[in-house]
A and B are shown apart, each in its own frame.
Chain A
Amino acid sequence: MSAADRYSRQRGLVVQDLIADARLSVYGTGKALPYLLQCLAALGFAARHGRLRLCLADREVLPADVAHQFLLRPEDVGGRLGAALVHRLSAVDPAIAVDVDPLPLDGMRIATPTAAEVAAIARQGDVAVWGQVLPLSIHIGPSPVEVPDDGPNVLTAALAAISGGLTAQAVLGLLGALVRGPAVLSSWVEERLWVSYPGIGRRATLANTDAPALRGLLDPDDDGFEIIVHGRAADARVTAIVDGDTVVASVPLGPEAVVAGPGRAAVRPVHREPIAAPTIDWSPLATGDVVLPERLPQIRLVMCGAGALGSWASATLAATPADGTVELCVVDMDDTIEAHNLNRQILFDLEDVGLPKARLAAQRLTGINPMVGTRALQMVIAPQHRDALIGEMADQDYISDPDIAAQRMRLKELRERLREADAVLSCPDNQQTRWVLNVVTESLGIPLVNGAVDGFVGRVHVCDPRDDGRCLICWLGASIARQPERRSCTDILGTAPVPAIVTSAAVVGGIQTAALIALLTGHAKKVGRFHALDAARGELTGYRAADRDPVECPTHLLDAEEMMARASHA
């Protein structure tokens, strides 16, 4: 597998060379550390000329180090901490250059401290960003907050993933590796490069010359992009305008292309200004006066989607210590793990490419925590399944087609799992599946915790009918019932791959789990019911938001259903 495959989904969002060549020293052994390291490795940090240094006084791995996280494994306890972290990181990305030394490298320094480590690290000076995990919240910023060491609780793993993800995101900004504004989406169709970027087609029309240079149209002000073919800048010319936002360019290919084909080429941002670390303080709770248990109670969940969000949401849940069993039914339609999933789908690594996704996810989660009992269902959740999932499902004597019979069995099992579930985690890649899940959870009267992410923008909706929280249609409108478009690992937008990155997935998946745990430990009245991430701007904000409108909400569930029926008959 080439590096190009592995990072193809983040190419429009970050400057990969700056990440691969970065020199970065990490202080502290706080709860966010393993999550930060997983994000850095998945991003491709120090995978070329760069180096990552863990500045820690090496010591033995303690049981507390392997709790609330899933990078280190229980069998690492008793070994050396530095060596264990290096070993586990190399499994995430074998190309990463990482070492352990109390003295920092020249270059950027960042910190993920425990409460006890803050003062000593601050004395060493010049920490560009701090990523902290507090009992009920996270803090990210150029200065630390002083906090008492209250010990971990049931939110710690989820908060640590959010803190680690946001810290890695801040590093991208500090490096100047962040492509702010819209991503450039490009892909090869035979010998031509298709490029989607807001306004590019309109600018090509206005250029009023034959075959204008692609580079000038991408960024007329500062030549911020270059077109690279086999490592060399190429002079791409626009030869066709598809629409206002999409053009087709022809690119002279060097002799290497004759051997390797045109695939290894990219539209690449050249340079961005570094931006200072933002200050972010966030909690899943809208009011802070709650006392949380240390461990999860016995819970039953259905999670739909084991991609970027699903893998982070479920892994942080599995990393949370539990008193009773956590029964998790994982539903995913994708067959197998692909190389380009690995830049963000943290449950999987290199040797998993080609293996079945839902089943392997379930296996990995039980590996993180034996208290997690999993069931994997490889299936699609589509509007036509709505009736079977909420109504009666008649027994049928005999179905001759084995595929249909198997599909029916899976549907029946999902229906049972939903009926037993305490809540549903919604992590799919399309609105129609979200709509079906919303109908089902509203009809069963159980909470739906929905996550969505595109590039650097993410949303979490906590829809709890028992708390008069808004349903997904209150939030998103009835039109989600007729939006089947998928935005995911297997799909493309127009002709170009959809951009996706680990930092947003860690943050949004972590928020889903944090909100879910707050709900299931009895804090529905205090949980933030809407969370908005704009990672490129360094913003994460939670809102309690207003209750559902008691007249509109039940009605629009029916409206959406009618609309759906009309659409399917059309």
Chain B
Amino acid sequence: MNTITFRNALTDMNQQVPVQAGQTVRQTVESSGFIAPGNNFSVRDKDGQIVDEQPADRFVGQMLSVGLPGDNVVGGGAVGGAA
């Protein structure tokens, strides 16, 4: 069966979830019960890219990290990286 492994970024809990045809990553997490209903979340791949709205079948066999939305905040000070 085609599955994705979701990992909770805060607790390290893992769950293998079967992928249904046509589902997005977000829908797969929601239907799996991995996150309690009503809780906000955001899913990222190993590289750190947000993949919430991508087709789930693209990530079959992979581990995706489920965390809080907004984890990609960037701002803060002024030490430039683009020299």
Within 8 A of B (CB), among A464-492: 473, 475-480, 483-490
Please tell me if the beta carbons of A332 and B75 are within 8 angstroms of each other in the complex: no
Please tell me if the beta carbons of A429 and B77 are within 8 angstroms of each other in the complex: yes
B70 partner residues in chain A, CB cutoff 8 A: 454, 457, 459, 532, 534
Interface stretch, picked from B7-15, B21-29, B53-61, is B7-15
B36 within 8 A of A: no
B46 partner residues in chain A, CB cutoff 8 A: 477-478, 556
Q: A305-B79, A429-B76, A480-B48 are in contact. List 11 more A-B contacts (CB 8 A).
A: A305-B77, A333-B79, A380-B83, A384-B83, A427-B77, A430-B79, A433-B81, A452-B76, A487-B75, A530-B10, A545-B12
A458 partner residues in chain B, CB cutoff 8 A: 73
Q: Secondary structure of the A side of the interface?
A: mixed
A488 partner residues in chain B, CB cutoff 8 A: 75-78
Listed A/B pairs (19) with beta-carbon separation below 8 Å: A308-B76, A332-B77, A383-B81, A428-B80, A429-B77, A431-B74, A433-B81, A452-B73, A453-B75, A454-B74, A457-B70, A458-B73, A459-B70, A473-B48, A480-B48, A485-B74, A487-B75, A488-B77, A543-B10
Please tell me if the beta carbons of A545 and B10 are within 8 angstroms of each other in the complex: yes
Q: Which of B11, B47, B73, B80 contacts A459 (CB 8 A)?
A: B73
The CB with the most chain B CB atoms within 10 A, among A429, A473, A478, is that of A429
B82 within 8 A of A: yes
Given the complex of chains A and B, what is the CA–CA distance between A488 and B78 in angstroms? Answer: 6
A306 within 8 A of B: yes
Number of residues on chain B facing chain A (CB within 8 A): 26
Given the complex of chains A and B, what is the CA–CA distance between A494 and B8 in angstroms? Answer: 33
Given contacts A384-B83, A530-B10, contact A477 B78 (CB under 8 A): no
B79 partner residues in chain A, CB cutoff 8 A: 304-305, 331-333, 380-381, 427-430, 433
Given the complex of chains A and B, what is the CA–CA distance between A543 and B47 in angstroms? Answer: 23
* Bitwise interface map of A from 377 to 411 toward B, beta carbon under 8 Å scored 1, else 0: 00011111000000000000000000000000000
Given the complex of chains A and B, what is the CA–CA distance between A473 and B12 in angstroms? Answer: 15
**Could you tell me the distance in whole angstroms from the C-beta of A351 to the nearest C-beta in chain B?**
20
A432 within 8 A of B: yes
**Could you tell me the distance in whole angstroms from the C-beta of A348 to the nearest C-beta in chain B?**
12
Q: Which of A332, A451, A475, A476 contacts B78 (CB 8 A)?
A: A332
Please tell me if the beta carbons of B75 and A333 are within 8 angstroms of each other in the complex: no
* Bitwise interface map of A from 432 to 449 toward B, beta carbon under 8 Å scored 1, else 0: 110010000000000000
Given contacts A428-B81, A433-B79, contact A477 B73 (CB under 8 A): no
Given the complex of chains A and B, what is the CA–CA distance between A479 and B49 in angstroms? Answer: 7
Instruction: Considering the complex, give the chain B residue whose CB is closest to the CB of A451.
Output: B76
Instruction: Considering the complex, give the chain B residue whose CB is closest to the CB of A480.
Output: B48
Please tell me if the beta carbons of B11 and A546 are within 8 angstroms of each other in the complex: yes
Given the complex of chains A and B, what is the CA–CA distance between A566 and B58 in angstroms? Answer: 24
Please tell me if the beta carbons of A453 and B73 are within 8 angstroms of each other in the complex: yes
Given contacts A477-B44, A479-B49, contact A452 B74 (CB under 8 A): yes
Given the complex of chains A and B, what is the CA–CA distance between A530 and B65 in angstroms? Answer: 15
The CB with the most chain A CB atoms within 10 A, among B12, B70, B73, B82, is that of B73
Given the complex of chains A and B, what is the CA–CA distance between A498 and B45 in angstroms? Answer: 26
Q: Which of A380, A433, A454, A546 contacts B73 (CB 8 A)?
A: A454
Please tell me if the beta carbons of B81 and A306 are within 8 angstroms of each other in the complex: no
Please tell me if the beta carbons of A429 and B78 are within 8 angstroms of each other in the complex: yes
A500 within 8 A of B: yes
A307 within 8 A of B: yes
Given the complex of chains A and B, what is the CA–CA distance between A433 and B77 in angstroms? Answer: 11
Given the complex of chains A and B, what is the CA–CA distance between A383 and B80 in angstroms? Answer: 10
B68 within 8 A of A: yes
B75 partner residues in chain A, CB cutoff 8 A: 308, 429, 452-454, 487-488, 498, 500
**Could you tell me the distance in whole angstroms from the C-beta of B45 to the nearest C-beta in chain A?**
7
Closest 8 pairs between A and B when the two form their complex, measured CB to CB: A477-B48, A305-B77, A546-B12, A432-B81, A307-B77, A487-B75, A428-B79, A479-B48
Given the complex of chains A and B, what is the CA–CA distance between A384 and B80 in angstroms? Answer: 12
A309 within 8 A of B: yes
Instruction: Considering the complex, give the chain A residue whose CB is closest to the CB of B76.
Output: A309
Given the complex of chains A and B, what is the CA–CA distance between A187 and B65 in angstroms? Answer: 36
**Could you tell me the distance in whole angstroms from the C-beta of B44 to the nearest C-beta in chain A?**
6
Please tell me if the beta carbons of A333 and B80 are within 8 angstroms of each other in the complex: yes
Given the complex of chains A and B, what is the CA–CA distance between A79 and B72 in angstroms? Answer: 47
B71 partner residues in chain A, CB cutoff 8 A: 459, 475-476
A310 within 8 A of B: yes
A480 partner residues in chain B, CB cutoff 8 A: 48
Instruction: Considering the complex, give the chain A residue whose CB is closest to the CB of B70.
Output: A457
The CB with the most chain B CB atoms within 10 A, among A310, A357, A532, is that of A532
Please tell me if the beta carbons of B73 and A484 are within 8 angstroms of each other in the complex: no
Given contacts A380-B83, A459-B71, A475-B9, contact A304 B77 (CB under 8 A): yes
